[in-house]
Amino acid sequence: MATLSLQLERLGPSGLAALPSCTKTISVRYSSVSVVLSLGPSVSLEGGREISLADLPKSIQTVDGAAVTVRRRSSVFVSVLLPGGVEVWWDGRARLYVDAPREAGTGGGGRFGGLCGNLNGRAADDSSTPEGDVECQIAAFAERSKLNDPQLKREAEGRGKCQHNHHC
């Protein structure tokens, strides 16, 4: 079974402060394919190979033969459609949507989880942490869901604040 991972790189004040921040990139990883959605929006594959929006839709084969499809959904949104029907939508600025069929959730035999909940139909356990606990406080849940990769933090700090979001 292939693994789906969504990682957001956020710039601006750290923590859940009242000051706004912006999302700089969204990395969508599925099996052997990694698609990076950036401000604008712009699209690139892991390794930095950029995909022109004019060249969309574009399908990328995974090592097991499944297809990950990147497409322009409107004048605003770009989406990444994954096997199994999960689709990630990004407006290149502030809005990210994850559309997943119920079968992807734990109630349908899948293993969906994280900040999007687990799609099992029970809201009470949507804030399950990677360790299996259920956090009652939103701030604590978000804090426990962060990646603690020092290399990613150094790279983000080196890029400075986002220039496309007037709040940063």
- Confidence (pLDDT) at 31: 87
- Confidence (pLDDT) at 150: 56
Say how far apart CA 118 and CA 106 lie, in whole Å: 6
pTM of the model: 0.69
The domain segmentation of the chain, as residue ranges, is 1-99, 102-153
- Confidence (pLDDT) at 14: 55
- Confidence (pLDDT) at 36: 93
Give φ, ψ of 73 to 5 degrees.
-90, -25
- What 3-state DSSP class applies to 62? coil
**Starting at the edge strand that comes first in sequence, how are the strands of the sheet with 78-81 ordered?**
58-61, 67-72, 78-81, 87-90, 96-99
- Averages of pLDDT over each 10 residues, the chain, 168 residues: 76 57 82 90 85 92 92 94 91 86 62 67 76 79 67 50 43
